């Protein structure tokens, strides 16, 4: 039987709170900013279909493994991996998997906060009607004026980081739990309102056809690997956040069922975001494959020329802020928990120190868009380098070693006991996927990310 450990940080009140929290971690800029534009770049429906298959075959098995490790260890990722390695009579060096995940999350929150600051800035720009009647050149000018002004970027970066610290500084129930119980329902409501707006004001049939009618002639091998990679990254895997949240999961809660629910909710948000965005894009004769500028350049142009565009444009960017906020909270939680566990400090102090550290690193990202845009390593700006290092190297390797530990290092009886899957065939399916299918998938993502394939 499982050794009954408890987390010193507390635990989620119910399974549904964990589902909301983990979904909040997974739902972020990747769902509402990245998923629509990479779908547009890769031809729509065929890409979406491959993405859904990859979520089922790669994302869910890894999520189950990461939640399982977190709940069994009941500590920060570093201490969890040290305890579980000792429990399996393996080398304590496995704790570096925890260090790697925590470091990746810390780096990501540093630049994530800057991008989230753009969304905050756009809430106010949309709200005062800046986009009304604007031309494409005018929208580009608004965006360029923002990113080329280090003082404004720094101000928005600071505000967003303070928002994140304010939540994490409180304990699990009074901080994280209250935040996700308010933010996630509001996020879903806002998203449904925007889908309704797209239904009434956009070319909804064209948007649905683009998203859900597969045309495999538009999908390249590169698109398949991109779908595979996004299925992994969208669930917030390999960065310690899901492992940390799993450590707060009450005993007896089904890891398999909750992981499936989280994956469905996360995927649902991405699809709803596409249903809200693409009808507006097609109705205005804009380009769905506009790339990263789809949210900050293409959509404001659409909102600026539609009835109710000021209101619904504001709501859209509020939605983007909420999505970023719930993800940021989960990214900063692991180092905060580690400081509390290992340095005998209170949670407020740990949150402030971690937040200031991430904020300082984020200053490099702020300046990489303007004053330091010519400062490059390996032909990359600071932001590009941090993004490449985490998304292309640290997260895939973290995911690979998570499944390696769960399936090949941790004793089978321990995994079976912790997962407590009632149907033996379902456990065997999961065990087969994490031993053979998901490692191959993650390695393929890694090799594609570093340009080998």
**Residue 434: both structure tokens together:** 């994490």
Q: Is the pLDDT of residue 232 over 80?
A: no
The answer to whether residue 408 sits within a structural domain is: yes
- Residue 432, CA distances (Å) to 57, 146, 396, 438, 439 in order: 11, 49, 19, 9, 11
Average pLDDT for residues 357-374, to the nearest whole number? 96
Average pLDDT for residues 121-140, to the nearest whole number? 92
Average pLDDT for residues 352-373, to the nearest whole number? 97
**Residue 411: both structure tokens together:** 């004793």
Task: Provide DSSP, 213-233.
Answer: S--GGG--HHHHHHHHHHHHH
The answer to whether residue 47 sits within a structural domain is: yes
- 9 pLDDT tier (thresholds 50, 70, 90): confident
The answer to whether residue 8 sits within a structural domain is: no
Average pLDDT for residues 152-176, to the nearest whole number? 92
Average pLDDT for residues 34-53, to the nearest whole number? 88
46 contacts: CB under 8 Å, gap ≥ 6? 214, 215, 216, 218, 219, 223
The answer to whether residue 149 sits within a structural domain is: yes
Q: Is the pLDDT of residue 33 over 80?
A: no
Q: What is the per-residue pLDDT for 147? A: 93
CA 390 from centre of chain = 12
For 278, half-sphere exposure in the C-beta direction (CA atoms, 13 angstrom radius) is 27
Average pLDDT for residues 79-108, to the nearest whole number? 94
**Residue 23: both structure tokens together:** 């979904």
The answer to whether residue 81 sits within a structural domain is: yes
- Residue from 401, 385, 298, 370 nearest 91 by CA: 401
The answer to whether residue 158 sits within a structural domain is: yes
Average pLDDT for residues 244-255, to the nearest whole number? 92
For 276-294, write each residue's pLDDT tens digit. Answer: 988 988 888 877 776 667 7
Write the CATH number for 387.
1.10.4160
- Residue from 236, 225, 267, 243 nearest 56 by CA: 267
The answer to whether residue 3 sits within a structural domain is: no
Average pLDDT for residues 66-92, to the nearest whole number? 94
- 422 or 245: whose pLDDT is higher? 245
Q: What is the per-residue pLDDT for 100? A: 95
Mean pLDDT of the chain: 90
CA 53 from centre of chain = 19
The whole-angstrom separation of Cα 373 and Cα 405 is 40
CA 312 from centre of chain = 24
Q: What is the per-residue pLDDT for 271? A: 92
For 380-397, write each residue's pLDDT tens digit. Answer: 999 999 988 988 888 889
**Residue 291: both structure tokens together:** 């790339």
Give residue 435's domain range. Answer: 15-449
- 5 or 126: whose pLDDT is higher? 126
Q: What is the per-residue pLDDT for 82? A: 95
Helix (H) or strand (E) holding 288: none
Average pLDDT for residues 50-57, to the nearest whole number? 91
- 34 or 292: whose pLDDT is higher? 34
4-13, 176-185, 374-383, 411-420, range with the lowest pLDDT: 4-13
> Structural domain tally of the chain?
1
303 contacts: CB under 8 Å, gap ≥ 6? 126, 131, 280, 309, 310, 312, 313, 316
CA 47 from centre of chain = 19
Contact (Cβ atoms closer than 8 angstroms) between residue 262 and residue 26: yes
Average pLDDT for residues 173-202, to the nearest whole number? 89
For 145-158, write each residue's pLDDT tens digit. Answer: 999 999 999 999 99
Q: Is the pLDDT of residue 2 over 50?
A: no
Average pLDDT for residues 206-232, to the nearest whole number? 86
Task: Provide DSSP, 242-282.
Answer: HHHHHTTSPTT--HHHHHHHHHHHHHHHHHHHHHHHHHHHH
Average pLDDT for residues 34-43, to the nearest whole number? 85
The answer to whether residue 163 sits within a structural domain is: yes
CA 378 from centre of chain = 26
What φ, ψ does residue 133 adopt, rounded to 5°? Answer: 70, 10
For 307-324, write each residue's pLDDT tens digit. Answer: 888 999 999 999 899 999
What is the chain's percent helix, strand, coil content, to nearest 5?
80, 0, 20
- 9 or 104: whose pLDDT is higher? 104
> What angle in degrees, to the nearest 10, is found between the helix axes of 309-343 and 95-127?
150
Average pLDDT for residues 346-374, to the nearest whole number? 96
- 445 pLDDT tier (thresholds 50, 70, 90): confident
Q: What percent of the chain has pLDDT over 90?
A: 60
For 174, half-sphere exposure in the C-beta direction (CA atoms, 13 angstrom radius) is 7
The whole-angstrom separation of Cα 241 and Cα 328 is 10
Q: What is the per-residue pLDDT for 287? A: 78
Q: What is the per-residue pLDDT for 1? A: 42
Q: What is the per-residue pLDDT for 292? A: 65
pTM value surpassing 0.85: yes
- 64 or 236: whose pLDDT is higher? 64
Q: Is the pLDDT of residue 38 over 80?
A: yes
Average pLDDT for residues 321-332, to the nearest whole number? 93
- 451 pLDDT tier (thresholds 50, 70, 90): confident
């Amino acid at each position: 039987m499982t050794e009954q450990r408890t987390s010193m940080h507390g635990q989620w009140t119910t399974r549904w709170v964990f589902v909301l929290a983990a979904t909040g971690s997974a739902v972020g800029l990747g769902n509402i900013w990245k998923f629509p534009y990479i779908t547009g770049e890769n031809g729509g429906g065929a890409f979406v279909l491959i993405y859904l298959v990859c979520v089922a075959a790669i994302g869910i098995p890894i999520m189950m493994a990461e939640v399982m490790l977190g709940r069994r260890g009941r500590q920060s990722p570093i201490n969890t991996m040290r305890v579980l390695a000792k429990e399996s009579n393996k080398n304590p060096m496995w704790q570096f998997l925890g260090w790697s995940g925590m470091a990746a999350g810390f780096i990501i929150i540093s630049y994530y906060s800057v991008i989230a600051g753009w969304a905050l800035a756009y809430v106010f720009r949309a709200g005062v009607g800046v986009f009304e009647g604007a031309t494409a050149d005018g929208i580009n000018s608004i965006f360029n004026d923002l990113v080329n002004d280090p003082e404004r970027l720094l101000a928005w970066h600071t505000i967003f980081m303070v928002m994140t610290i304010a939540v994490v500084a409180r304990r699990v129930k009074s901080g994280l739990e209250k935040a996700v119980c308010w933010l996630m329902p509001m996020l879903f409501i806002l998203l449904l309102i925007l889908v309704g707006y797209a239904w009434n004001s956009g070319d909804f049939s064209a948007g649905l056809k683009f998203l859900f009618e597969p045309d495999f002639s538009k999908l390249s091998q590169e698109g398949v690997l991109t779908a595979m990679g996004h299925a992994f990254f969208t669930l917030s895997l390999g960065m310690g956040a899901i492992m940390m949240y799993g450590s707060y999961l009450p005993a007896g809660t089904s890891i398999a069922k909750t992981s499936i629910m989280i994956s469905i909710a996360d995927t649902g948000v991405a699809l709803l975001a596409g249903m809200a965005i693409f009808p507006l894009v097609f109705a205005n004769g804009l380009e769905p494959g506009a790339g990263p500028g789809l949210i900050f350049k293409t959509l404001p142009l659409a909102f600026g020329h539609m009835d109710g565009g000021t209101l619904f444009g504001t709501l859209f960017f509020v939605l983007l802020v909420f999505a970023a906020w719930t993800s940021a909270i989960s990214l900063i939680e692991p180092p905060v928990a580690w400081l509390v566990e290992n340095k005998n400090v209170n949670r407020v102090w740990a949150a402030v120190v971690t937040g200031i550290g991430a904020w300082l690193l984020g200053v490099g990202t702020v300046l990489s868009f303007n004053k330091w845009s010519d400062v490059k390593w390996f032909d990359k700006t600071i932001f590009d380098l941090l993004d490449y290092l985490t998304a292309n190297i640290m997260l895939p390797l973290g995911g690979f070693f998570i499944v390696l530990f769960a399936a090949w290092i941790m004793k089978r009886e321990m995994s079976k006991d912790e997962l407590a899957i009632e149907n033996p065939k379902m456990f065997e399916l999961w065990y087969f996927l994490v031993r053979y299918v998901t490692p191959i998938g993650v390695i393929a993502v890694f090799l594609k990310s570093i340009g080998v394939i």
